[in-house]
Structure 1
Amino acid sequence: MTTSVSAPDIWRAEIDDAVVDLAASPDGRVAVAGGEGSLSILSVDGAVERRVQLSMGCLKVAWSPAGDRVAVGSIDGVTVVDAGGSEVARHRGGWCSSLAWSFDGARLAAGVGRTTVVLDRDGSELFRRDRDSTVTAVAWLKSRVAAAAYGGVHIYHVARSAAPQVLPFTGSLLALSISPDRRWAASGNQDATLHVWRVGKRGEELSMSGYPTKITALAFSPDSALLASGGGPDVTVWDFGGAGPRGSTPRILTAHEQAVTAVSWSPDGSLLAGAAADGRVAVWEPMRGARGRPLAAVDEVHRPAPAASVCWAAQSGRLLAGWSDGTIAARSVNVR
């Protein structure tokens, strides 16, 4: 039997803004996007090193792979700052809730209103393509950019003006995840379905329905074998090993009483963290669960405010979580 050793928070910090999203740099610093437009940068010990006001409302934050840039999506575009929080560039144009740095950190993809844009690390525009509706999610497939909007996913070649590869879907896409091995693309949708495409192969599509709510939280495991999705109070984990999930039964991870707001895999893929509107942050060992049967969490923390975001610090293995009351906590999850 697996048990957990629940230690107190390693540190807990308060910022004077509602946490909307957070991200960890390679060295363990934390960037926090605030609902009232602030960006806070915290040290590895939770001290607030810098706080800057960027807009009327921030939506998304992402560190570059080298940890020398932070991109912040907001209600009016994207801002790039350096590691100290000083502004490098701004790109205006509309709502931006989706950001993705390329694997080498040289380029940043963003959905800004109805446009997919690619910027260099200093904020200069390299590429743009317009859609008929708001771009809700972006992701990289090696040197190509995938952008989700109503009607499906468009995959663009950034370096040339070729027609995009289209992964069609009739409806509104809210979340997008590309498997690290680049075999699969998955979307969480407004109609409470999960849709999956086999990248580069026509006709190999899957649709999973029966979720209680729309799906906004979605993440493949680091080894591409599992896909975690939140559509309602439970986290559903599909097996993508072998030929994929067609005809299979998912694992069901339980802990929450309200809708899941975020999911995040640990760097080694053994643990999955989930946050929910009931204020609870939970951690599971998904591979220990039996398909079709509920699996309880191995660690939980709860606050009387909605939990908005979770991520892992790669170097230390700490779990980072943020709540809408402005609380950020770092925890050590010990499983035996």
Structure 2
Amino acid sequence: MSEMHELLVARGAERRVEGAVSAAAASRDGTVLAVGTVEGEIWLVAVESIRSPEAWRVVAAHHGAVLSLVADTGASGFLSGGEDNRLLRTEADGTVTELFRGRRWVDHVASTPSTLAFSTGKQVELRDAHGATTLKTLEHPSTVSAIAFDAKGKRFAASHYNGVSLWFVQAKVDSVRMLEWKGSHIGMALHPAGDAIVTAMQENELHGWRLSDGHNMRMSGYPRQVASMAFTRNGKWLATSGADAVVMWPFFGGGPMGKPPTELARLPGVFCSRVCAHPRHDMIAAGYDDGTILLADTGSERVLPICMSGRGKVSALAFTPQGGFMIFGTEDGWIGAVDLSSQG
């Protein structure tokens, strides 16, 4: 494919920065995209300046790597956790506010419009939308490896060694529902309808639980550890990395158990490193070890190239909640942003 077929060339821009990109996110109102780096910087890309990389704003946020980056509880800002043991709020104008400083890395951050959560070691702290008031502190049996709220913000999940802990955010008395499976769980995805939770294992496989009855599900056969996964907008498919294609597990018709996965956007011999589901359409953005990024339609299997190889391993992908823009980052320090809107 010639570079003129790349959406990045026709409808976006890119620039190289200091340090590998470690995380990406978009604001709730869809006006700002952001990436964090291992150097502690947060780059802010306003969608109106998406094709003017000289206008992208850099914020010296953390002292050490940005470990987690998510949309703030409010409209346009971001929350980040870092190796400097701090939780920060970064506004769209670059203003940074410290919300927490502890003794351990702030590994993971999650938010809803009314609540934010962050993990340090075995503990997860839930705070109000402003980040000033602690609502509760949740203790886990081992170091937390991933956290997430469900789509309605009512339940909260944390993965750790030997399983997942599931909590009710508004519960007066905190009683945990333990989903147990021996081994090291290193990543997690929640079904949009709350039907299931899936974790990536230290081994090259996934484990899942059907929440209605706790039934266990095992999805294996990967040549590599699964580092990234995402449910499509309606929960019909779970897209994952870990192979030289996007591996898609069906969560309909009784699946995934007893049903083989589908593969999309295969690049023979080049492993998929990152996946991100489009929030409005049945599409998956997939990043690969060589820097290729493809946009694949889960229905027609049509594939559009966002950009081709040569930028280093894709390490971060994010869409705006409305789906009109996306941002990516690579381990070689490339940041790219693309306008996917119909008028782009």
Q: Could you tell me how far apart the structure 2 residues matched to 1:78 and 1:94 are?
A: 11
Is 1:262 the counterpart of 2:274? The answer is yes
Is 1:283 the counterpart of 2:291? The answer is no
- Percent of residue pairs identical: 23
Question: 1:21-170 alignment to 2 at 5 Å?
Answer: 21-25=23-27, 26-44=29-47, 45-46=49-50, 47-64=55-72, 66-75=74-83, 76-88=85-97, 89-102=99-112, 105-124=113-132, 125-141=134-150, 142-159=153-170, 160-170=172-182
Q: 1:16 aligns with which of 9, 15, 18?
A: 18
Q: Could you tell me how far apart the structure 1 residues matched to 2:299 and 2:185 are?
A: 28
Is 1:324 the counterpart of 2:331? The answer is yes
Is 1:299 the counterpart of 2:310? The answer is no
2:64 match: secondary structure: coil
Indicate how the Cα distance of structure 1 residues 232 and 78 shifts in structure 2: closer, same or farther if over 3 A, else same. Answer: farther
Is 1:183 the counterpart of 2:195? The answer is yes
Question: 1:149-228 alignment to 2 at 5 Å?
Answer: 149-159=160-170, 160-202=172-214, 204-228=215-239
**How many aligned residue pairs are there?**
323
Is 1:309 the counterpart of 2:316? The answer is yes
Q: Alignment RMSD, CA only?
A: 2.4
User: Are the equivalent residues in 1 in contact too, given 2:16–2:335 (CA < 8 A)?
Assistant: yes
**Which residue matches 1:293?**
none
2:299 match: secondary structure: helix
Q: Could you tell me how far apart the structure 1 residues matched to 2:321 and 2:175 are?
A: 37
Q: Which moved more, 1:86-95 or 1:263-272?
A: 86-95
User: Residue type matched to 1:175 in 2?
Assistant: G
Which string of whole-angstrom CA distances, capped at 9 and with x for unpartnered residues, describes residues 257-307 of structure 1? Answer: 444332111122321011122222122112235xxxxxx743252223221
Structure 1 segments of 4+ aligned residues over 6 angstroms from their partners: none
Indicate how the Cα distance of structure 1 residues 320 and 209 shifts in structure 2: closer, same or farther if over 3 A, else same. Answer: same
User: Residue type matched to 1:181 in 2?
Assistant: A
How far residue 36 of structure 1 moved from its aligned partner, in angstroms, is 1.1
Q: Could you tell me how far apart the structure 1 residues matched to 2:123 and 2:268 are?
A: 35
How far residue 65 of structure 1 moved from its aligned partner, in angstroms, is 5.4
Q: Which moved more, 1:145-154 or 1:297-306?
A: 297-306
Indicate how the Cα distance of structure 1 residues 69 and 106 shifts in structure 2: closer, same or farther if over 3 A, else same. Answer: farther
The TM-score with structure 1 as length reference comes to 0.88
Gaps of 5+ in 1: 290-295
Q: Could you tell me how far apart the structure 2 residues matched to 1:264 and 1:227 are?
A: 10
Indicate how the Cα distance of structure 1 residues 144 and 58 shifts in structure 2: closer, same or farther if over 3 A, else same. Answer: same
Which string of whole-angstrom CA distances, capped at 9 and with x for unpartnered residues, describes residues 30-71 of structure 1? Answer: 121111111222222242234123221112211125424311
Q: Could you tell me how far apart the structure 1 residues matched to 2:81 and 2:227 are?
A: 17
1:55 match: secondary structure: coil
**Which residue matches 1:249?**
260
Which string of whole-angstrom CA distances, capped at 9 and with x for unpartnered residues, describes residues 77-119 of structure 1? Answer: 42223333323312424233422212xx121122222212212
The TM-score with structure 2 as length reference comes to 0.86
User: Residue type matched to 2:12 in 1?
Assistant: I
Indicate how the Cα distance of structure 1 residues 79 and 334 shifts in structure 2: closer, same or farther if over 3 A, else same. Answer: closer
User: Are the equivalent residues in 1 in contact too, given 2:218–2:257 (CA < 8 A)?
Assistant: no
Indicate how the Cα distance of structure 1 residues 182 and 220 shifts in structure 2: closer, same or farther if over 3 A, else same. Answer: same
How far residue 332 of structure 1 moved from its aligned partner, in angstroms, is 4.5
